[in-house]
Amino acid sequence: MGDLSRDIVPFNLDIERAIVAGKQLSPCQVERVTWSPDLKRLIVDFSRGVTLQLDPARLSELAGASPEQLNRVEILPGGLAISWPELDVDLHLPGLLVDLFGPGVWMSELGKRGRGRTSEAKARAARRNGARGGRPRKHPE
């Protein structure tokens, strides 16, 4: 059997390396979360200079929370989630952002906007398609 002692890294050094690696893999972390009584919003500041304002009434987990409770928020290790221990609520920010702005939502919104648009090119294409009998039926009779 080979000598494994040369491959053993002290445990603390291993943890430090993991923390550094994690920070490099996660380029946008939460730096600060504050409750704005004037705006009635949670203000989430990210490490890349981005700020997100969240209306807690739109998040079912926080809908009934008082301003005092909302102000007692913690950033979880790694900077990707925030927590309200008193309310037993944790929000994973990347997941929340995907829910709010993810590909499905984004594409749906683009589709809604495109539906009402008309142009001469669309009208010509519709006339050509109509002249050929229109759209094919999904279930031939």
- List, for residues 34-61, the tens digit of each pLDDT value: 999 999 999 999 888 889 999 999 888 9
- CA gap 100, 83 in Å, rounded: 19
pLDDT digits (tens, 9 = 90+) for 116-141: 667 788 778 878 877 777 666 677 66
Could you tell me the pLDDT band of residue 1, with boundaries at 50, 70 and 90? very low
Could you tell me the pLDDT band of residue 31, with boundaries at 50, 70 and 90? very high
Higher pLDDT, 18 or 8: 18
- Rounded to two decimals, the pTM is 0.56
**Centroid of chain to Cα 17:** 27
Q: What is 19-70 written as a DSSP string?
A: HHHHHHH--S-EEEEEEETTTTEEEEEETTS-EEEE-GGGSTTTTT--HHHH
CB atoms within 10 A of CB 82: 20
Largest CA distance in the chain: 80
Could you tell me the pLDDT band of residue 71, with boundaries at 50, 70 and 90? very high
pLDDT digits (tens, 9 = 90+) for 83-122: 999 999 999 888 887 777 766 766 676 666 666 667 788 7
Higher pLDDT, 91 or 7: 91
Could you tell me the pLDDT band of residue 26, with boundaries at 50, 70 and 90? low
**Centroid of chain to Cα 95:** 5
